[in-house]
Amino acid sequence: MKMISGGICAAKGFTASGVHCGIRKSQSKKDLALIMSSVPASAAAVYTTNLVKGAPLTVTKKHLENGKAQAVICNSGNANTCNADGIEIAEKMSFLLANELKINASDVVVASTGVIGQPLDVSVIASGIPALCAALSPDGCDDAAEGIMTTDTVKKEVAVEFEIGGKTCRIGGIAKGSGMIHPNMATMLVFITTDAAIAPAMLQKALSGDIADTFNMVSVDGDTSTNDMVTVLANGLAGNDEITCDGDDFAVFMKALNTCTVALCRMIAGDGEGATKLLECKVSGAADIPTAKTVAKSVICSSLLKAAMFGADANWGRVLCAIGYSGANVDVNKVDVSFESKAGKITVCVNGAGVPFSEEEAKQILLEKEIDILIGLNSGSAAATAWGCDLTYDYVKINGDYRT
């Protein structure tokens, strides 16, 4: 298993592109992205749990009923959500793209991200589709990754090479996600491509299993978006025997997928709106996994702790507080807490009570860009990790006037 370049175009048979079509005002911002497989692929997806769902999700869900897809189109700048004609628009996007690419409209995954409840003029997207298709290229990953960005400050892409049954396979992904991100899916869009051969049902099983420990353990601001979606297309061009059941091949595939998704989770959390730090909360010694997950998520979601991390303030009482209100059944008198980064590791709480530590040393550790919050529950052997970021002035600035 090794990290490689190329993102969503690393796998055989995939091309991508991104253009500016005019949804976003700035000409320099790409707002339309495309991913294309040269052959129809197995497809799987997971969607937001928000009751208010973007129209594109409804259309994509219908298109993926047969477990197959060949292309992904995604616009940024407008979520196409809470619009009376949303479904019609999402269907039109699929139809126009399919027409241009000479594929079936039902093989199109359609996604949108941006402001909710703003009218969307589909003719703007229509006008961009010919250029979008013409630009498809094996080097198009960067452009596509840029086309799906909203308040993201960096493009997010990853790719991994691995082997199944003697065949070299690749899996890669791009993601967008910066605000409105919370456990159980958020305005987070992730598109993953692989040339491994895997049956749709197993692909869905792999994805659904993976997100429980990855994307559902990320929180930027506690707001679960209406438009979240993670999709995987697997076109089989690597030539391995198709994975149709559990076993070694499936385990290897799961591991490759997880390597991609964990990397994307870290990128998303680290690029949270206004964030200056990536926070990784690692809980160990829990009685069971749900307890470990509940505690890790609660800590990573605490506004007070997030603000303290911004200020490089080792205010561990806020960690204890967040554990206490998490709803998990924890013996708070057994809890240990440490902070760790490149600059070192410091233990601040043992058995639920503070221990003397050097504030100066703690400050140096917390001034780093990546901070681990280590929590030992000393009540079992289950563990979990959650990812988040600090709460900063810029989060408020970005969200105080996002629409203008």
Nearest of 281, 271, 276 to residue 393 by alpha carbon:
276
Nearest of 273, 400, 285, 266 to residue 337 by alpha carbon:
285
Which residue, 209 or 354, is less far from a second copy as judged by CB?
Answer: 354
Task: Provide, rounded to whole angstroms, the least separation between the CB of residue 301 and a second copy.
Answer: 7
Q: Which stretch binds a second copy (CB under 8 A): 112-120, 136-144, 205-213, 339-347?
A: 112-120
In this structure, the number of other CB atoms found within 10 A of the CB of residue 254 comes to 18
Under rule CB under 8 A, residue 290 binds a second copy: no
Q: Which stretch binds a second copy (CB under 8 A): 26-34, 149-157, 324-332, 371-379?
A: 324-332
Task: Provide, rounded to whole angstroms, the least separation between the CB of residue 402 and a second copy.
Answer: 7
Instruction: Give, in order, the Cα–Cα distances in Å from 204 to each of 66, 128, 327.
Output: 12, 32, 30
Interface with a second copy in residues 170-209 (CB under 8 A): 179-180, 182
Task: Provide, rounded to whole angstroms, the least separation between the CB of residue 91 and a second copy.
Answer: 17
Which residue, 130 or 311, is less far from a second copy as judged by CB?
Answer: 311
Task: Provide, rounded to whole angstroms, the least separation between the CB of residue 23 and a second copy.
Answer: 16
Instruction: Give, in order, the Cα–Cα distances in Å from 58 to each of 73, 93, 227, 394.
Output: 14, 13, 10, 33
Under rule CB under 8 A, residue 221 binds a second copy: yes
Task: Provide, rounded to whole angstroms, the least separation between the CB of residue 321 and a second copy.
Answer: 5
Report d(CA 226, CA 82) in Å as an integer: 10
Total residues found in the chain within this entry: 404
Q: Which stretch binds a second copy (CB under 8 A): 158-166, 199-207, 216-224, 372-380?
A: 216-224
Q: Report the run of H or E that residue 399 belongs to, with start and end.
A: helix 393-400
Following DSSP, what letter does each residue of 343-363 receive, concatenated? TEEEEEEETTEE----HHHHH
Q: Which of 27, 65, 360, 401 binds a second copy (CB under 8 A)?
A: 401
Report d(CA 354, CA 184) in Å as an integer: 33
From 187, 193, 226, 392, active-site residue = 187
Under rule CB under 8 A, residue 165 binds a second copy: no
Under rule CB under 8 A, residue 58 binds a second copy: no
For residue 311, the 8-state DSSP code is T
Under rule CB under 8 A, residue 321 binds a second copy: yes
Q: CA-based Rg of the chain, rounded to a whole angstrom?
A: 21
Under rule CB under 8 A, residue 302 binds a second copy: yes
Instruction: Give, in order, the Cα–Cα distances in Å from 327 to each of 149, 174, 293.
Output: 35, 34, 11
Under rule CB under 8 A, residue 330 binds a second copy: yes
In sign, the C-alpha dihedral spanning 321, 326, 327, 333 is negative
Task: Provide, rounded to whole angstroms, the least separation between the CB of residue 335 and a second copy.
Answer: 9
Draw the binding track, 347-386, toward a second copy (x: CB under 8 A; -: no contact): --x--xxx--------------------------------
Under rule CB under 8 A, residue 20 binds a second copy: no
Under rule CB under 8 A, residue 404 binds a second copy: yes
Q: Which stretch binds a second copy (CB under 8 A): 28-36, 161-169, 193-201, 300-308?
A: 300-308
Report d(CA 390, CA 392) in Å as an integer: 6
Following DSSP, what letter does each residue of 181-231 receive, concatenated? --SS--SEEEEEEE-S-B-HHHHHHHHHHHHTTTGGGB-SSSPPPSS-EEE
Nearest of 136, 111, 188, 199 to residue 9 by alpha carbon:
136
Task: Provide, rounded to whole angstroms, the least separation between the CB of residue 341 and a second copy.
Answer: 17
Q: Is 385 a catalytic residue?
A: no
Q: Where on the chain is the footprint of a second copy (CB under 8 A)? A: 49-53, 79, 81-84, 115-119, 179-180, 182, 221-226, 301-304, 307-308, 310-311, 313, 315-318, 320-325, 330, 332, 349, 352-354, 391-393, 395-404
Q: Would you name the residues annotated as active-site residues? A: 187
